[in-house]
Amino acid sequence: MMRNHSILTIVMPVYNGGLTIRESLSSIISQTFLDWQLFILDNQSSDSTQEIVNEFVGIDSRINLVIDDCKRNSHDAANKLLSYVNTPYFMIACDDDIWHPDYIMTCISCLECNPTIDLAYTYMQYIDNNGIIHGSPKGYPQSAFFTSYNSFIRVIFFGIIRQILPPLFGIYRTEAALRCLPFFTFDETIADVDTLFLALFLQKSRPLCVPKPYFYYRSKVRAMDPNVLSIKLNKRYSDIARKIIYRLIHEFKFTLVLTKFFALRCSLIQAFIYVPFFIIGGILREVRAVFIDIKLFHINSVDLHFIIRSRSLSSKL
């Protein structure tokens, strides 16, 4: 049942999260901040997810389980969960991540003390399936220009690094976040849907990072199944070719969608200023992906995998 006095709504889309959701829910109910409500949308899981969640529903009235009435991708699931958000703050949680007991308290306090801030988040660390912490992300700062007072600097920096972590999973002022939602899915793999959201959010709103490693992101190597792609090539290395072609088509689609949204929500001039930096970021990201593919090819002597690291909610389900 919904708690009318809650000030934070947590939404969690899940599909077959039985291996990790118990640990994630234990992490949430252990928070020192108490005034929250959690809505879990189960996308017709075939494992023990529903049984585990119902255990927690039975012991904590703040937790609500919603069984989805159709199959949908994770971003569409998050969009459906938005209808349950009726509090000043909200947060997206994944079924395999973990939070320090003071995570929510730290972020809410930050927002309460800084009325010009619309998103608060903390440093993150990677954690594997065995619960071993592997340290913080390498190669980019977790705060820096993300939190600049200047929206121009925020968006350009984000465009170049194209990295959604850790800001995406922070705590938002609901009103500010809803101005940039729902998530807009523009191709079959749903990659970069959350990149589009954050780009629009950072143009209008300023986040603040608390330099404490209170968020533990489940680190996995995730491979794209080439069968989800609509591209058909009958060659020896067709999977590789399809992935490369997909990347090019995907970046083209993303550029068009990003330009459209910036033009509609900001101005055409700002769109033409911002978008080239996202193109640069996309090129840099795909170069990194190619090196990862080549490394896997030499190690495994099998067809290359298109690795998606920390790109979207889809990689978490």
The pLDDT of residue 313 is 47
99 sits in the region (left: phi over 0; alpha: psi -120 to 50; else beta) called beta
Distance between CA atoms of 203 and 151, rounded to whole angstroms?
5
Kindly give the pairing relationship between strand 63-67 and strand 89-92: unpaired
Q: Give the Å distances, CA to CA, from 94 to 91, 203, 230, 313.
A: 10, 25, 28, 8
DSSP secondary structure letter of residue 133: B
Angle, CA of 311, 18 and 34, to the nearest 5°:
80
DSSP secondary structure letter of residue 223: B
Nearest to 11 by CA among 36, 33, 46, 29: 36
The pLDDT of residue 21 is 97
Kindly give the pairing relationship between strand 63-67 and strand 36-42: parallel
**In this structure, what are the phi and psi dihedrals at residue 188, rounded to the nearest 5 degrees?**
-70, -20
The pLDDT of residue 316 is 53
Residues β-bridged to residue 111: none
Distance between CA atoms of 61 and 223, rounded to whole angstroms?
37
The pLDDT of residue 4 is 52
Kindly give the pairing relationship between strand 119-127 and strand 89-92: unpaired
The pLDDT of residue 189 is 73
The pLDDT of residue 317 is 44
Strand, coil or helix: what is 211? strand
Distance between CA atoms of 303 and 47, rounded to whole angstroms?
30
Distance between CA atoms of 158 and 151, rounded to whole angstroms?
10
Q: Which helix (H) or strand (E) holds 84?
A: none
Joined together, the tokens standing for residue 76 give 């569409």
Q: Which helix (H) or strand (E) holds 257?
A: helix 238-265
Cβ distance 197 to 180 under 8 Å?
yes
Q: Domains plus CATH for the chain? A: 8-218 (3.90.550.10), 226-316 (no CATH)
Q: Which helix (H) or strand (E) holds 123?
A: strand 119-127
Burial call 235-250: b when 16+ CB within 10 Å, e when fewer: eeeebbebbbebbeeb
Joined together, the tokens standing for residue 142 give 């977790």
| Residue 267 CB-half CA count within 13 A | 4
Number of helices and strands (H, E) in the chain?
9, 8
**What are the mean pLDDT values of the chain's consecutive 10-residue runs (317 residues total)?**
74 96 98 98 96 98 96 93 97 97 98 96 91 80 73 91 92 97 88 94 93 89 48 54 78 94 91 94 79 48 33 43
DSSP one-letter string for 234-250? -STTHHHHHHHHHHHHH
The pLDDT of residue 312 is 39
Residue given tokens 């459209």 in the structure block: 260
